[in-house]
Amino acid sequence: MPDEIVSTLIEVNPRVLVDGTFGAGGHSRRLLAATADEAIVLIGLDRDPEVSKHHEQNPLDDSRLTLFVGSYEKTPKAMKAMEIDAIDGMVLDLGLSSDQLADRQRGFSFTHEDAPLDLRFDQETGHTAADWLAWSNEKEIADAIYRFGEERCSRRIAREVVARRRREAPVKTVGQMADVCRQCVPRSRNHDIHPATRTFQALRIVVNDELGALERTLQSAANWFRPGGRLAIISFHSLEDRMVKQVFRDDDRWTPLTKKPLRPTDEEVRNNPRSRSAKLRIAERNEMN
Ligand SMILES: C[S@@+](CC[C@H](N)C(=O)[O-])C[C@H]1O[C@@H](n2cnc3c(N)ncnc32)[C@H](O)[C@@H]1O
């Protein structure tokens, strides 16, 4: 899918591109490599301050790139800082990076049992997943795990979280939460998915307000684009994909260029199993409106 993203963004002869989920810079690197145009401006954004620290140590050495720490919803702020009035292309590769998953201290991976149950992309703002579980009621917890994790045992998990809170102490670590999930979720038939996978995904989506950020961006992004500009979004969750699909189809400022979402090839999935559920949709900013 990176090839499709690069070709669709570069073929409009862009002046300004945005990589709204910079991560390790894979998309940015490919975009810059695909054009020798020295006048192109590439704005990178990532909500995770660690991304910028990592970039300072291993810079993607290209003066056409400027990296900001912040949510992709803040694209207009970055544009203003750079005195840019419109963009021609943007890529959003939603979710979690491999670096975040590997970080032992942030709670993203349930294999690091002693890690605090944090799950925030930006540890300087908002509240940890442990805090959210400590003050939410049983129904709120069950509903979020069901909606954002599509976890059928959500009620049982929420009941156990609240019972532990009353009986012992609130769930605080990755290991404690993984233990709740192991207790409440029957093992999948071929053991291919850990009983905590869906619940951790749901908690991450909640504490980072991931759907809110996407929704607000889909409502306003058309205002940032020059006509003919293109927006490419890779999502990993059916709710995200549905939001993208509906806006691209129903908002007359966009024309969808992908009728059905593009999916990774077998080879891409072999090289990166986490890409299995990825869906890519692309739309073009219309001339009018
Ligand atoms: C799947 S990774 C992107 C990987 C990247 N395309 C690469 O090639 O390395 C998703 C990244 O998006 C970031 N992210 C998640 N929500 C964000 C938001 N609202 N605004 C900006 N970045 C966000 C995460 O911190 C993470 O680094």
Find the 162 Cα to ligand 1 centroid distance in Å: 32
Looking at ligand 1, which residue's alpha carbon is closest to its atom 24? Answer: 96
pLDDT at 60: 86
* Domains of the chain with bracketed CATH: 2-99+210-285 (3.40.50.150), 122-207 (1.10.150.170)
Task: Quote the CA–CA distance of 184 and 24 in Å, as a whole number.
Answer: 35
Give yes or no for a contact between 19 and 88, defined as CB atoms under 8 angstroms apart.
Answer: no
Whole-number Cα distances in Å, 207 to 110, 118, 141, 259: 16, 9, 12, 32
Q: Which residues contact 48 (CB under 8 A, 6 or more apart)?
A: 69, 97, 100, 121, 122
Q: Which atom of ligand 1 is nearest to the CA of 72?
A: 20
pLDDT at 230: 98
Task: Quote the CA–CA distance of 194 and 208 in Å, as a whole number.
Answer: 22
pLDDT at 208: 97
46 lines ligand 1 (CB under 6 A): yes
Find the 260 Cα to ligand 1 centroid distance in Å: 23
Task: Quote the CA–CA distance of 255 and 264 in Å, as a whole number.
Answer: 22
pLDDT at 194: 87
pLDDT at 288: 73
* pLDDT mean values, one per 10 residues, the chain (289 residues): 93 97 96 96 96 87 95 98 98 92 87 92 94 97 97 97 94 96 85 87 96 98 97 96 97 96 92 89 91
Looking at ligand 1, which residue's alpha carbon is closest to its atom 15? Answer: 95
Longest dimension (CA), the chain: 63
Looking at ligand 1, which residue's alpha carbon is closest to its atom 25? Answer: 48
CA quadruple 229, 235, 239, 244: dihedral, nearest 10: 10
